[in-house]
Structure 1
Amino acid sequence: MALSTQRDSAFLPSPHQSAPQPNHDVFLSFRGEDTRLSFVSHLYHELQLRGIKTFKDDPKLERGTPISSELFNAIEESRLAIVILSPNYASSSWCLDELTKILQCMKSKSTVLPVFYHVDPSDVRKQTGSFACAFTEHEERFREDVEGVKCWRAALTEVANLSGFDSKNECERKLIENIVEWVLMKVHRKFKLLDSRELVGMKFIREHIDLLLAHPTDDVRFMGIWGMGGIGKTTIAKLVYDSISTHFESSSFLANVREVSQRGCLVDLQRQLLSPILKDQITQVWNEQWGTYFIKNCLSNKKVLLILDDVSESSQLEKLAGEKDWFGKGSIIIITTRDERLLVKHDMQVSYKVERLSDDDALELFSRNAFKKNEPDGGFLELSKGFVNYARGLPLALKLLGGLMYKRDEDEWESELDKLRKIPKSEIIDLLKISYDGLDEMNKDIFLDVAFFHNGKDKEEVIEILDSCGLCGCVGINDLVQKSLLTISHRNVEMHDLIQEMALEIVRRECPDEPGRRSRLCNYDDIFHVFINNTATNKIRGISLRTATVEKDKLEL
């Protein structure tokens, strides 16, 4: 029986075919009669429970004679392979064909894990013991395909020489834990949430992550990361997730909670959190109430890492991570938000405010996006500093502006920088404006008044002025600080330059063509236009002109 030609042609892709896309995290190769209903069943359950997409063939397939092309495709479409080498593994030509295919597809042998299950690795390597008996039968049965049998022997020798796990002197539960841990390390190493180009100025955060892992506890810990839009909260949360997720039974990164909630689709996030555990039963999560019920009941005995990114309302937390007893011992729940008050209301044990990047880190992040390296090209240093100065340490702005200037000439850089000083970049403004849109009407007025008239003034003076205008100054200022729109520095009310730019742009959009129809004026050209052309209307609430900022030869009062 001539098998070798058929096997080779089945194993080798056409030169015109593109590499198949991974469809499974793990392909399980095993001898069904030895392990299907015992060890493999438990291993498969644990892999699925941890959200690892695993291929395990249908038991009916093994009863057929030739190995199917569908099975070969499944091997090609898997990232990793686990080979369970049991006493009768070599007696199956099906298993040996699988093994040969696995080793041919997975060039990097670090993606193949042998598990010696009740067999001695040397018996596999040298084909002795039960493996010798199996090959005596193969050599008789496939006497016309000597080369094919040699390929099988070579495959067993090769896989036995790989680093793997031995069931000898190891309880099955611990063995399965070790295998799952190996898979998680491999899967997460290949698929990080975070692009390495974003890791600038993260040394301090890394140190905090190390401290987090250095002191394991049975407590369920809630932690908050807060700061203004675009400051890097999500990047930090991704770094934490990539660093520690393999230490948990279940881990989920739920992105854009605010946006998903606004679309009325919070149940989708609940399903995402529950799907590795409920699997096909996920259809039972009909609505948010059922989602909350299942989260409480399915995760209370599991060590969980849960990241809730961009939370804006307490109701979102109540439906995704309401109480500590929803999660098992050692769980960590991390929330990112723009609103410090939300963290206070939810009794966060740890709250970390993200500050802007230093000038050196800001220049590096900008350069990584503008030049694909850590420093500017020759001749572009001063121009780069101009963009970095505009961004004021805001990572989102640095990445957007760096990407905008990639592979553009010096004239274009100068023109874009000049334009930026006159008209703010809309993508940056619109992202920052999300915080403003969530304010009530009184706090919107307070925010815009501070941006136009009071930035840098003494807090008590600002509160007194706001109160005299019928606004609740003290409460309003505190609310804006907690929502990352204002800061208090040395008793002065201050805001980030881009936050102020956003406020100016909000008012400009009230009537782009006619300043006299806007609520506030502080730009000399706009004020000059309104007075010279007599276009003022009752829309104007206030005018402020700091003459020190106007060029002397331009000032005409």
Structure 2
Amino acid sequence: MALSIPSASARQWKYDVFLSFRGETRHGFVSHLYDELESTGRIKTFMNEEKLEVGKAISPNLLMAIEESRLAIVVLSPNYASSPWCLDELAKVLQSMEGRDRILPIFYHVDPSHVRHQLGSFAEAFTKHEENSRHSKEKLDQWRLALKNVADLSGWDTKNCRYFKFHHGLFQLSSKRSPLMILNQLDGPGMTSLRHVRKDDEITAIGVYGMGGVGKTTLVKHVSAQARELGLVNYVIRAVVGQIPELRNIQGTLADQLGLKFKKEETEIRRAARLLEGIMRGNKILIVLDNVWQRINLSRIGIPSYNELHGCNSKLILTSTRMNICYSMECQARIHLDTLSEEDSWNLFVEK
């Protein structure tokens, strides 16, 4: 997942991290996570200590803590949705932080699809909410949308990957793909290099490569958001390519972000022509192709040539695990992301 921390020059934050969680995880996973964050002496973390009472609304102090936090970590456990308090809290987190890459969901012994579509224990929780008639349909719909939106964010699934481990009784964020390790990429040499080439008018195609999990996607998302905020680009459009590129899906994803609508009967060639026209008609567009595994023909997608992109002040960034892809795609700048050291893994959290 991608978390980007707003500059403190724009706002002073009371907390670095807001923890959203269900009581079932308080004395295990969450308490160890909290201790690990606080042990640095540099990351101020909000962890609610209020005892919940049935029917009690979320407290104003808690709402204020969310607004005063730089980012949120949401621990989605099996009984998370059974708590109206947690659901209200989640809705507030999304309202305050969504769209700014400041939310990290951790799927703690739950399937992300169960959160997204309210299945399993999440379905049972909503059945009970509906049966007790305490909450309006509007409120239930708001909670369902909040769960869908948080599940759509890039996060960490503790069932599939061991991001966390206990060592000598202490909780450690030990994986190269742990949240804090990836966040550090946003304050490292890769960020500096990408910022530099982003501003270079002579460079149109940029390749970012490195082993899986070092934070390529996070880095590119952060730089793209900065470029938009600084007015270096007018639009950022992004598509995931993957091992087996689905041309129509890639075309549709890019077109949607440009406001283009394809008809089902349109061929890939026709779609490519319309997408090409839309990009060329625009100005200062940043195109991001994520997770590229093989050389792809950009014209088949509908992406202009590098010379054409240069002519309309636009750029292309691609990410890959393989350096040779950056060469075969003739990227004019190639940026390598190394694995992270634990010593530097906290930098982004405390950036001032």
Choose between structure 1 and 2: higher strand proportion: 2
TM range (shorter): 0.3 to 0.5
Q: Hey, which of these two has a bigger chunk of helix by percent?
A: 1
Q: Which has the higher contact order (CA 8 A, sep 6+)?
A: 2
